[in-house]
Amino acid sequence: MISRLINDARKIILKFGSNTLANSEGKMNTDLLSEFAEQTAALIKKGKQFIIVSSGAQVAGLSKLDKWSRKKDLHYRQALCAVGQVELMKSWRIAFEQYGLHVGQILLTREDFNDSNRTLNMRNTLFTLVDEGIIPIINENDTVSVEEIKIGDNDTLAARSAILWSADLLILFSDIDGVYDKNPKEHTDAKLIEVVRNIDDLRKSIDIGSTNNFGTGGIATKLDAAQMALSYSIPTILAHGGTARSLEILAAGEQKATAFLA
């Protein structure tokens, strides 16, 4: 199922959560970025197109400014993201450069999606970048996103981007294999749910636990994102992004994950 979804899709959005991009010391996992760049580049050669939605500005910021780790004040967090965004993009740029690919940065807020003029500009830019073989890397514009205008989590941002670009498939990479009947971090007997056809029913039947260190949305926003994408007939996969060569292995049908299908 998962393998067919990936093999049949031409336009794919890959979303990476902060915890997936961080290593065990809380620093950017640049090896993981390189590995994804290599896998993506191989699939582009086979005719697929990609947009990346990448969290991780805070993680990348803390990799540079460790002394800010205890500063919780909003202005410091936004300032940290301003520093970290540069580092995050540098890491992606270096990762893709090895495979002869350029990246372009797109920073968005909720307001951008509510304004038809901005939406049209975003869509045109995304299509132009992808047509020219450049990988757009989208993140929320944390510097201007105060609570009122925040999308708040990159799962929803990824779903909105998938709809905007008319993607064929959305893949949310997290630090778990998919949706479980209860939080797998707290319950060793949690069971993976491999296929979801009704997200409202799923919400009623599972326990939704807390997020991780850098996580913002948790499983709830992943379900919202999948539901949003599915309402435009875009299937969604929630998968572990931290395992070796996960994109290839998912495409080969050798890694378990959750598929959200219409």
What does the binding site for ligand ADP look like in residue numbers (CB under 6 A)? 17-20, 174-176, 179-180, 182-185, 206-209, 211-212, 215-219
Q: How far is the CB of 57 from ligand ADP (least distance, A)?
A: 13
Residue placing its CB nearer to ligand ADP in the complex, 49 or 140: 140
Which runs of consecutive H residues, i.e. helices, occur in 15-73?
Answer: 18-21, 30-45, 57-64
Q: How far is the CB of 199 from ligand ADP (least distance, A)?
A: 13
Q: Could you say which DSSP state residue 225 is in?
A: H
Residue placing its CB nearer to ligand ADP in the complex, 14 or 130: 14
Residue placing its CB nearer to ligand ADP in the complex, 17 or 61: 17
Q: How far is the CB of 114 from ligand ADP (least distance, A)?
A: 23
Rounded (10°) angle between helices 154-164 and 218-230: 10
CA 169 → CA 3, 162, 193, 240, distances in Å?
12, 8, 19, 16
Q: How far is the CB of 206 from ligand ADP (least distance, A)?
A: 5
Q: Cβ of 47: how many Cβ atoms within 10 Å?
A: 7
Q: How far is the CB of 17 from ligand ADP (least distance, A)?
A: 2
Residue placing its CB nearer to ligand ADP in the complex, 88 or 129: 88
Residue placing its CB nearer to ligand ADP in the complex, 18 or 145: 18
Enumerate residues 6+ apart whose C-beta is below 8 A from 90.
Answer: none
Tell me how long the chain is: 262
DSSP readout, 77-100? Answer: HHHHHHHHHHHHHHHHHHHHHTTT
